[in-house]
Amino acid sequence: MEKKSSAELCIEFCSITNSDFSLAERTLRKHEWNLEASLDEFFSTSDATPANIAVLSGSPPRKRPRAPCESAVPVIDLSPDAPSTSTAGISANGGVGGSTVGLTAMPLDLANGKERPDVFRIVSWNVDGLDDESLMARTCGVISEIQLKKPDVVFLQEIVDTNLAILQSQLGTAYLLRTGGSEGYFTATLLSRETMQLEDDNIVPFPNTRMGRNLLIVNALFDGIPLCLINSHLESTKDAAEERKHQLADAFVRMREAPVERTVIFGGDLNLRDSELRAIGGIPSRIVDLYTVTGSRKECENTWDTQRNVNAMQKVGRSVKKIICRFDRLYFRPSETRCALLPLHFNLVGLRKAPSSQKFPSDHWGILVTFDRIFPS
């Protein structure tokens, strides 16, 4: 029987315990990547619940500074990272034993004397370019959020010529921008010029879309870590459920078929209902929902909320009852050769109204996921 990689063991631990990746990694490493022993420890603790995962890990709170958070969505750090002195670790080839990999302080890149990044951040956000009302002010609100959070990668949906021009003007020096089209509205993926290196990009149209939808696939390096970044805006409206399910299944296939050495992140405005996900058999093996594995905090669950977001309320009308949905999602497939990124935080962005406007930057909240960077010892 083929030995499972450390990443696969982390995923299996999370799926069984409903805990987060960082706790999985710490517990498995403590038991030298023995899944059965790790599960025994987890379930032998009577209060082993997601609410107190941080307590179970037995380490002091992490001291690393984090990006500022929205006051309405406080960060709850579920993953302490006190350095481990155990000789057990994640091997360089993703397995157990041999040359170990541990969480360390930010090492210097000896080639240029700079500190290497210790976290990886990705934002995904439908920025509602189809709504002309206050579009320039709202786009400035989007830009402000990106400049504040400083993500390494940004997935945007509903880009049009107007907000594209503003984004290029204000973010062009800091980010390399690739688009998933040029007519009507489309997606865009932004790569930090400081931390990311573009390898190639490709647009894969959905064959039966009636709305011009596709997959924007970007292969890039983050501090030498090969990533496959898949940005999409799946078919909209409840009536398009069948086509949307086909599109989601197609995206999952591409995640699973990506080269094993690449860490894969797919997401965007998926317009997804949980029943549609169940209808295609759920999330495939080795792929995880980043909202789930980072703790499933209820205050971060829904990205379309007609009660909290006045932009969304105006779209449906005040007479309509409250509608809340988790349309925007990110899925993660770790590399099979080495576990270099571990999901840590899931947060919402865009909760402040745009400058000089009574509108939020979009009718969707954006999502921000932070990963821990694992450095070779």
Q: Using the Cα atoms of residue 176, residue 178, residue 184 and residue 185 in order, give the sign of their dihedral.
A: negative
Residue 9 identity: L
Scored b (16 or more CB within 10 A) or e, 315-354 reads eeeeeeeeeebbbbbbbbbbbbbbbbbbbbbbbbbbbebb
Instruction: Give whole-number Cα distances, 292 to 16, 343, 369, in Å.
Output: 12, 10, 12
Spans of all domains in the chain: 6-58, 124-376
| The pLDDT of residue 93 | 35
| The pLDDT of residue 376 | 63
State the Cα–Cα distance between residues 261 and 282, nearest whole angstrom.
24
Instruction: Write out residues in the chain with pLDDT < 50, as ranges.
Output: 46, 49-106, 110-111
| The pLDDT of residue 48 | 53
For the annotated catalytic residues, the residue numbers are 269
- What class is the 124-376 domain? alpha beta
State the Cα–Cα distance between residues 371 and 197, nearest whole angstrom.
18
Structure tokens at 284: 């495939």
| The pLDDT of residue 153 | 98
